[in-house]
Amino acid sequence: MPGGGGTNGEKRPLLLDDGEEVVYDSHDGVYHTHHDAAYSSHLEPESDSGQPALLSLSNNNSGHSRTSSDTSILDDIALMAQNVYQRQMLGHGSITSKDNSYHTMSNGSVKIAMPQPLRDEPRFPKEEQKTIIAFLYLCANFFFTTAALSLTHERVPEQPPLPDVSLDSIKIQPWALDVSEIMIIVMVLFAFMIVVFHKHRWILFRRVCLILGLLYFYRSICMYVTVLPVANPSYYCSPKSNHTGTVLVLKRVVQLLSGFGLSINGKHTFCGDYIYSGHTMVLVLCFLIIQEYTPRRWWYVHWLSGASSVVGIIMVLLARGHYTIDCIIAYFITTRIFYIYHTMANHSTLKENNHNNYLERLWWYRFFQYFECNVQGNLPRQFEWPLPWPRRWSSKRAQRIS
C-alpha cells in the first residue's frame, strides 16, 4: 500500500487506458498529465490535516483532450483515496499489540495471529469396543442356531419329502451340494477381503456381525418351531438319541462348529434345518456386501458375484439340500434386513427417536442405534493396507477408487 504525503516536489504517475500518464505533484497538490508514461502506481494524497485529500486535476499544461473513461478513472481514484486507502504509519519499526493478537510491520502491513483450527471429531470413528460386542452377538446367535439344530434333529418326522414344484421336476444330483458349498467358501473369502481392506473396516465388520447375527437368530427360531421332513431321502442323517440332554446338545454344537456348518467336511450330519436356507442366506449376504462396498465401476465383479450366488442356490436345489420355499424365505429376509439396516445407517434422521419414524419400532432398533449413533453419513469406498508392514504398502492416506 503506498505511503502518506511525499517530500516536496515528489511526483507519482498513473497510466490511463489511452496511454496518457497522470502525475501527482505533492508540492502543488495537483495532478498533471503527459504522454511519456512507462510505469504506473496507485496514489494516496493527503491533506495537511492528515486525512486523504480530494484529488484535483489540472491539464493546463497539456493540450490533450481527456475522454470520459479517463475522467471516470480519476474520479474513482479520488473516491478511493478519500474513503478506502489508509495512511501508513509514520516513522519506522513495528508495533505489537499487548495481547499479541496482531503485529504491525514497518511497511504498513498487519500480521494477525490466527489461532490453530480445531480438529473436528472423526466422522467414522472406529469404536473397537462396539465391534467386539457385535462379534460376540454373532457368536451367541450362531451358537443358538447350532443348538436349535441339535434339538430339531430329534423331531424330524419320518415321512416322505413334501411336494415341491422345483424338486419334483428335477433329478437329484448329490454332487451339486459340494459345488454349492465350494462357492460359499469362495464368496465368503472374497467378502472377508473386502471388509479387511476397507478403510473403515471396524464399522463394516460390526455391521456384518449384527446383520448376520440377526439372520442366525431368526433362523434358529424358524427351524425349531416348524420341522419339515428330509428333502433328500438319500442324505445321511445321524441316528436319533431319543433324548436331549445338555451334554448331548453341547457335543453336537461342538461338532457343527468345528465344520462351520458345512456338509462338505462331513461334520454336518444332522437334519431338520430347512426353514430357512443357510446356504442361500450366506450367498445372498456376501453378494450384497460386495455390491455395496466396492466401487460402482467394478460392475463385472458385481455381476460375477451375483451369478455365483444364483448358481450356488440352484446347486442346493439340484442336490435337494433345501426346499424351494426355504431359499425364497432366506432371500427375502436377508435382503430386507440388509436394506433396512443400510437405509437407517445412511440417513441421520432415522437414527433419532421420532413418532414418525416407524423403523424405531423394530425390536433390534436399539442395537442398531447403539452401533451407528456416531457414524455420520455413507461409508466412502476407500481401501488401504490393513497392516503396519510392509511400509511401502501402507499409506496414511487411503486410496479412493470410487
Q: Which residues are catalytic?
A: 279, 322, 326
d(CA 57, CA 80): 15
Number of H helices, E strands in the chain: 10, 8
The grid coordinates of residue 235 equal 442324505
Task: Please name which of 247, 216, 34, 57 lies closest in space to residue 139, comparing C-alpha atoms.
Answer: 216
Count other Cβ atoms within 10 Å, centred on residue 94. 13
Sheet holding 21-25, edge to edge: 11-15, 21-25, 30-34
d(CA 368, CA 371): 5
Kindly provide the residue ranges of all beta strands, DSSP E only, lying in 78-152, ordered along the sequence.
Answer: 95-96, 102-104, 110-112
Element spanning 13, H or E: strand 11-15
- What pairs with residue 12 in β-bridges? 24
For 23, phi then psi, to 5°, come to: -120, 130
SS (H, E, C) 165-229: HHHHCCCCCCHHHHHHHHHHHHHHHHHHHHHHHECCHHHHHHHHHHHHHHHHHHHHHHHHHCCCC
- The answer to whether 188 touches 289, Cβ cutoff 8 Å, is no
d(CA 265, CA 178): 9
